């Protein structure tokens, strides 16, 4: 991907790698609280699953429209354009018991062949996680165009990615 300009929402997402929620019930991450405020949330805590909040924040800073119910991971199935396969920068939507999870596709892991996903609320933090393509219900494009440029389907092969063993709730 180095021959192409970075997608602005992915550049924003990368700025937050390592950001952790405060697992105390009484104190919360000021950064996550600022995202919630900017997005117009009616709650102010980082205990509520925030993967959709992270994705909405990144899209908002890039000036890209996001779902009305941005805090619900599965709401990302209702907007954007459904892709037949993952593309760099698309939103991957996963269903799970009790809800869903959303993250950005940023490459493929050289060692495992799994998708490298950058997301929030992955083990209570913003980090990379590895998933099988079949783990996702859909890959959605929310870019400034209706479809990604063709070269975005050629996912970069990444090595030495420090991925987290993921819990999503």
Give me the domain span that covers residue 135: 8-144
Q: What's the predicted TM-score (pTM) here? A: 0.94
Residue 30 lies in a domain: yes
Can you tell me the distance from the alpha carbon of 158 to that of 138, in angstroms, rounded to the nearest whole number? 22
Cα–Cα distance for residue pair 80/139, rounded to 1 Å:
10
**CATH classification at residue 95:** 3.90.1720.10
Residue 116 within any structural domain of the chain:
yes
Domain assignment of residue 162, yes or no: no
CA 93-99-101 angle, to 5 degrees, is 30
Could you tell me how far CA 158 lies from the centroid of its own chain? 17
Cα distance between residue 104 and residue 80, in whole Å: 13
Amino acid 149: pLDDT: 93
pLDDT at 24: 77
Indicate whether 158 belongs to any domain.
no
- 57 assigned to some structural domain: yes
In a domain, residue 154? The reply is no
In a domain, 159, yes or no: no
Task: Identify the pLDDT of residue 1.
Answer: 46
157 within some domain: no
Q: Give average pLDDT by consecutive 10-residue segment, the chain, 169 residues.
A: 82 97 87 97 93 98 97 96 98 93 97 96 95 97 93 95 70
The per-residue pLDDT of the chain, averaged, comes to 93
How many structural domains comprise the chain?
1
Q: What is the pLDDT of residue 166?
A: 65
């Amino acid at each position: 991907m180095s021959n192409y300009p970075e997608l602005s929402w992915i550049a924003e997402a990368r700025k937050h790698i390592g950001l952790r929620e405060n697992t105390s019930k009484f104190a919360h991450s000021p950064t996550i609280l600022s995202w919630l405020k900017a997005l117009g949330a009616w709650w102010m805590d980082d205990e509520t699953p925030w993967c959709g909040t992270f994705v909405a924040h990144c899209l908002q800073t890039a000036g890209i429209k996001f779902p009305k119910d941005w805090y619900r991971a599965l709401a990302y199935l209702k907007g954007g354009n459904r892709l037949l396969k993952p593309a760099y920068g698309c939103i991957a939507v996963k269903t799970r018991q009790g809800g869903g999870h959303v993250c950005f596709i940023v490459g493929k892991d050289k060692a495992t062949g799994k998708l490298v996903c950058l997301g929030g609320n992955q083990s209570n933090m913003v980090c990379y996680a590895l998933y099988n393509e079949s783990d996702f219900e859909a890959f959605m494009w929310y870019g400034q165009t209706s479809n990604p440029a063709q070269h975005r389907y050629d996912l970069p092969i990444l090595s030495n990615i420090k991925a987290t063993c993921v819990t999503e709730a």
